[in-house]
Structure 1
Amino acid sequence: MYWKSLAAAGAALLIGAGPAWADETQPSAPQPEAAQEAVRQEVTAVTIATPEQIQERFEARFPGVEVSEVRDTPFDGLYEIRIGRDLLYADANVDFLLQGALIDTQSRKDLTAQRLEELSRVAFSDLPLEIAVKQVYGDGTHQLAVFEDPNCGYCKRFHKTLQEVGDTTVYTFLFPILSDDSTVKSRNVWCAKDQAKVWKAWMLDGETPPEAECDMPLDDLMALGRRLMVEGTPAIVFADGSRVNGAMTQEALEEKLASLAKGS
């Protein structure tokens, strides 16, 4: 989406969505002064809107962009527009869009970061663990689930970290998104007689999974990843529902598991 490329220029982006956006190469036709004043009065009068109205106005501005959700914010006249895992903010008319961190100056909380964390949370008990590859490190006390691609270098690094940390039960949802070979390796792991042994041998020692054939629940795995908005691997889900996208250092993982143990 084009605002992402623009966002690289700064932490926050304010975009005017005037009529010229339809085609910047064509000048707008002049309007009678009375008509311009009528439009100004109409825009000024609109200070609140329903989520449905915000979505309708946004999609009229940006045809083809699918809005996932629209919500009110704590600030009158400012609305949150979610597109997948991206958050934008708009006025009631969607004449302006803001992309960046929304800060509550009273509490000093980053409301955008808070909301993104909320969106990333997963009910661990609802995960279909029956379609995951189960591995146990040490006594398996701690539990976590990971979306992994067999050709993901960061996933392999994370397994080495898990080996060092120990005492963890890991449920791997095979999520082959990097290449066709990823799909082949995922199938061979899933169809192996000892899934955990073959998976560990590949991730830790580089032993290629032997050819195997069976019915793999690939469609279910991919649908699960899309529903949970997994955009890359590894995506780590902890027992408390919190999530980390990307590999973790041994220190960070040990600290997280220790905090979960204290809270249980």
Structure 2
Amino acid sequence: MKFSRTLSLCLALAVAPLVHAESSGQTEQLKQKLTSALGVEVQSLTAAPIPGLLQVLTSHGVLYVSEDGSKLFHGNIYDLNNGMANLTEAAMAGPRLQMLKPFEDKMLVYKAKDQKHVVTVFTDVTCGYCRKLHSQMQQYNDLGITIRYLAYPRQGVPSAVADEMEAVWCSKDPKKAMDEAKAGKNITVAKCDADIAGQYQLGEKMGITGTPSMILEDGSMVPGYLPPQQLLQSLSAH
């Protein structure tokens, strides 16, 4: 059962309430309760921007739970007094940057000669907008934007697309193989330690559900395709 469907079934957690969850023992009980009910890994439990709620950073994004552990909320919290800032998205920014670090040696990097910005893109070789983005790589680079690819095969792992992406990453010339794959050409099967499954699971932990998805320098996420000039504007705004 998909995570979103599981959440719908678990909006009221069916065990006794936990009072004063800030104590270490009760916090651990609440973590275990969430893990058992939702099947997610709870990474941290802190005060939420709204009094009476706790913010839960999980392996599938941010959730909110009442302090007594009886009610669960899944959605975004916005700050009306600060230009509708998405506080839920902001809570994920720092953790995303930390999660990316172990995968830096797995990335396919298209470096700008005069680098001003670095954007990490979760991509799929069969995705139409991923192909459009790739066809404009030189334009991104000319604007000083370095693009770093990580694999997110939308069919999951294992799948035919995951195998194709592994062949790209493991090719003798991965960038050439990526050009060919995104042009719809067949790629010679190749195996290596590219860890396509790990890259895919990383995307899931960051809350990615489609491609392309961009992680900006501050850790914020842009779901979907942005043309080169528009991406530059977004980077400047952040």
Tell me the TM-score normalised to structure 2 length: 0.70
Residues 164, 184 of structure 1: alpha-carbon distance in 2 compared, 3 angstrom cutoff: same
Q: What amino acid is aligned across from residue 160 of structure 2 in structure 1? A: D
1:87 counterpart = 2:63? yes
Shift in CA distance, 98/126, structure 1 to aligned 2, threshold 3 Å: closer
Distance of 1:172 and 1:54 partners within structure 2: 37
Q: Is the 8 A contact 2:89 2:220 kept in 1?
A: no
Q: CA RMSD in A?
A: 3.9
How far has the Cα of 1:227 moved from its partner?
A: 5.3
Q: Is the 8 A contact 1:135 1:170 kept in 2?
A: yes
Q: How much has 1:183 moved relative to structure 2?
A: 2.0
Task: Indicate if the aligned counterparts of 2:63 and 2:72 stay in contact, CA closer than 8 A.
Answer: no
> In 1, distance between residues paired with 2:31 and 2:50?
19
Q: Does 1:246 align with 2:219?
A: no
1:150 partner letter = V
Cα shift readout 1:178-225 (whole Å, capped 9, x = no counterpart): 25221221122123222112212332x33332x143423225534544
Query: 2 CA distance for matches of 1:172 and 1:143?
Result: 11
Quick one: which of 125, 134, 147 aligns to 1:170? 147
What CA deviation, in whole Å up to 9, does each residue of 1:23-77 have, x standing for no partner? xxxxxxxxxxxxxxxx9xxx8xx87332652562575588432351322235543
Does residue 1:157 correspond to 2:132, yes or no? yes
Structural mapping, 1:1-264, within 5 Å: 1-2=4-5, 4-5=7-8, 48-50=20-22, 52=24, 53=26, 56-57=29-30, 60=33, 63-65=36-38, 66=40, 68=42, 69-83=44-58, 84-90=60-66, 92-102=67-77, 107-108=81-82, 113-121=86-94, 122-123=96-97, 126=101, 128-136=103-111, 139=113, 141=115, 142-167=117-142, 168-178=145-155, 180-203=159-182, 205-209=183-187, 211-218=188-195, 219-222=197-200, 224-225=202-203, 228-259=206-237
Distance in 2, matches of 1:2 and 1:79, equals: 22
Following TM superposition, by how much is the alpha carbon of 1:149 offset from its aligned partner in structure 2, in angstroms? 1.9
Q: How big is the shift at 1:157?
A: 2.4
Matched length:
223
CA 1:183 to 1:79, structure 2 compared with 1: closer, same or farther past 3 Å?
A: closer
Cα 1:130–1:110 shift into 2, 3 Å: same
Deviations 1:138-183 (A, max 9, x none): x352432222122222321222344444423322122334252212
Q: Which has the larger radius of gyration?
A: 1
Task: Name the aligned partner's letter for residue 148 of structure 2.
Answer: Y
Paired AA for residue 196 in structure 1: K
TM-score normalised by the chain length of structure 1: 0.64
Distance of aligned partners of 1:161 and 1:87 in 2 relative to their CA distance in 1, 3 Å threshold: farther
What are the ranges of 5 or more consecutive residues in structure 1 without an aligned counterpart? 7-14, 23-38
Equivalent position of 1:30 in the other structure: none
Q: Cα–Cα, structure 1 residues 117 and 199, in superposed 2: closer, same or farther, change >3 Å?
A: same
1:119 Cα offset (Å): 0.8
Task: Decide whether the 8 Å contact of 2:21 with 2:69 is kept in 1.
Answer: no
Aligned residue type for 2:165: S
- Whether contact under 8 Å (1:51, 1:71) holds in the other structure is no
AA in 1 matched with 2:106? I
Q: What is the distance in 2 between the residues matched to 1:81 and 1:239?
A: 23
- Are 1:88 and 1:98, in contact at CA under 8 Å, matched by a contact in 2? yes
| Displacement after TM superposition at 1:255 (Å) | 0.8
> What percentage of aligned pairs have identical amino acids?
19
